[in-house]
């Protein structure tokens, strides 16, 4: 009878060993050579032909495989535990979010159904009651990406649910506003865009206005009122210099529509107006002892109160020789330069009925601009 070790040798000899191409080149099958019976059953060895003899400790291989199997079972158990905890965490987030949504008047169950359908089918697209952005915000909070999970898990559930609920509420309202044919605050209709805009001989001079957000808002008001141009001075952010990126966030494209000139000092801007806009009335907007109410001033009516939307004509002598108004707006803290005010034709103010002495500069600009346009008959 053959020994047990010799039997093992016979069994191993029947195997075809695939050798790694990393060590010995391309993968190929090699023929094992039968060895004499082994003296120690704890170690089974064999040799094969491949340029040189190699030895493999099979018992170590077996122990290694057993260890891997045990680690795999442990990892599976850990995964099941983590999956259970993740599911509980998901359900807590969902319930908290639904409570917040219901308080805002949003049907959370319908939103959840819309989110599910947006994943299961592409035929109908996103539910028109909520819109794509609101549905994605809901899905992202309920089932976040792994990279976002750690952030969400550290956040208080009630705080996070309240934040997302308000975001969903805003996104859904914005979607409905955009879909409404009769709402036009996000842009002009194709019919309106085909029409030429109106430009008036009205200029704004921004005297060292510091905030880019304020400047951007003024650009939007200037575009809405059909201003001829804006002159920026000193530290005032402008589209072609410092603060252009921040300015654009509140200007929303108006900075590309309204022509702009920048001067190092307000004195230079004033000299430019006296030379190139000699018929314009220069009006400062500031609270002083000699200021007049902005409605008590008679702003000179130009012979051509309404101009075509043609940049060359608007900047030409025909457009500027018939009168107009240039409004000076000053810094948020110090106002219009005190050395500039005596050089202006008029200084006006907006009446204050509260405890504060002034309005934000971006709020003041459209108030006076629309009064000028009213006197010019622009609303007729």
Asked if residue 45 lies in contact with residue 56, where contact means CB atoms within 8 angstroms, the answer is yes
Question: Percent of the chain at pLDDT above 90?
Answer: 35
* E-state strands within the chain: 17-18, 29-30, 32-33, 47-48, 202-207, 229-233, 260-263, 280-285, 292-293, 324-329, 346-349
Q: Which residues contact 131 (CB under 8 A, 6 or more apart)?
A: 171, 172, 174, 175, 176, 179
pLDDT digits (tens, 9 = 90+) for 297-309: 999 888 654 555 4
Residue 52: which pLDDT band, with cuts at 50, 70 and 90? very low
Kindly write down the DSSP assignment for every residue of 76-143, as one continuous string.
HHHHHHHHHHHHHHHHHHHHHHHHHHHHTT--HHHHHHHHHHHHH-SSS-S-TTT-HHHHHHHHHHHS
Query: Quick one: pLDDT at residue 39?
Result: 46
How many C-beta atoms lie closer than 10 Å to residue 20's C-beta?
8
Q: What was the pLDDT predicted at 321?
A: 56
Could you read off the pLDDT of 54-110 as tens digits, one per residue? Answer: 455 556 666 666 666 666 665 555 445 557 777 888 889 899 999 999 999 999 999
Please give the average per-residue pLDDT across 10-26, as a whole number.
Answer: 43
Query: Residue 117: is its pLDDT beyond 80?
Result: yes
pLDDT of res. 283 = 94
131 has a pLDDT exceeding 50: yes
**Using 50, 70 and 90 to split pLDDT, how confident is the model at 364?**
very high
Model pLDDT, residue 151: 81
Mean pLDDT of the chain: 76
User: pTM higher than 0.75 for the full model?
Assistant: no
pLDDT digits (tens, 9 = 90+) for 27-50: 444 444 444 444 444 444 444 444
> At how many degrees (to 10) do helices 58-103 and 108-120 cross?
140
CA distance 52 to 55: 10
> Does residue 333 sit in helix, strand or coil?
coil
* pLDDT tops 50 at residue 197: yes
User: Smallest Cα–Cα separation from 213: which of 323, 332, 348?
Assistant: 332
CB count in 10 Å sphere of residue 94: 17
The confidence band for 378, taking pLDDT boundaries of 50, 70 and 90, is confident
Q: How do residues 365-375 score in pLDDT, each as one tens digit?
A: 999 999 999 99
Residue 278 is given by DSSP the state T
Structure tokens at 192: 């309106």
Angstrom distance (rounded) from CA 64 to CA 260? 76
Higher pLDDT, 266 or 190: 266
Residue whose entry in the numeric block shows the structure tokens 């994943």: 119
Q: Is the pLDDT of residue 290 over 80?
A: yes
Could you report the per-residue pLDDT of 202-257, keeping only the tens digit for each? 999 999 999 999 999 999 999 999 999 999 999 998 888 878 888 888 888 888 88
Q: How far apart are CA 138 and CA 117, in angstroms?
A: 13
């Amino acid at each position: 009878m053959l020994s047990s070790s010799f039997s093992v040798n016979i069994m191993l000899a029947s195997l075809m060993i695939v050798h790694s191409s990393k060590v010995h080149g391309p993968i190929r099958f090699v023929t094992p050579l039968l060895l004499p019976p082994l003296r120690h059953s704890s170690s089974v060895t064999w040799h094969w032909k491949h340029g040189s003899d190699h030895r493999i400790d099979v018992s170590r291989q077996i122990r290694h495989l057993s260890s891997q199997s045990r680690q795999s079972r442990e990892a599976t158990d850990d995964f099941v535990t983590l999956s259970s905890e993740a599911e509980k965490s998901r359900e807590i987030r969902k319930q908290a979010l639904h409570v917040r949504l219901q308080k805002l008047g949003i049907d959370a169950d319908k939103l959840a159904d819309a989110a599910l359908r947006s994943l299961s089918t592409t035929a109908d697209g996103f539910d028109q009651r909520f819109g794509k952005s609101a549905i994605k915000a809901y899905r992202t909070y309920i089932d976040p990406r792994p990279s976002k999970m750690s952030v969400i898990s550290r956040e208080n559930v009630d705080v996070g649910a309240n934040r997302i609920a308000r975001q969903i509420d805003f996104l859904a309202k914005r979607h409905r506003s955009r879909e409404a044919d009769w709402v036009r605050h996000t842009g002009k209709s194709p019919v309106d865009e085909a029409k030429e805009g109106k430009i008036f001989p009205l200029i704004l001079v921004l005297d060292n206005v510091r905030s880019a957000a304020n400047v951007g808002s003024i650009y939007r008001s200037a575009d809405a009122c059909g201003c001829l141009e804006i002159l920026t001075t000193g530290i005032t952010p402008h589209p072609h210099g410092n603060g252009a990126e921040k300015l654009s966030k509140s200007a929303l494209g108006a900075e590309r529509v309204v022509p702009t000139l920048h001067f190092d000092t307000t004195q230079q801007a004033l000299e430019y107006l006296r030379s190139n806009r000699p018929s314009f009335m220069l009006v400062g907007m500031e609270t002083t002892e000699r200021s007049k109410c902005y409605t008590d001033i008679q702003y000179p009516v130009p012979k051509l109160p309404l101009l075509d939307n043609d940049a060359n004509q608007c900047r030409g002598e025909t457009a500027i020789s018939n009168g107009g108004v240039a409004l000076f707006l000053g810094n948020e803290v110090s106002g219009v330069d005190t050395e500039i005010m005596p050089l202006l034709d008029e200084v006006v103010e907006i009446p204050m009925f509260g405890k504060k002495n002034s309005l934000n500069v971006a709020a003041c600009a459209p108030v006076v601009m629309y009064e000028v346009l009213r006197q010019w008959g622009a609303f007729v």
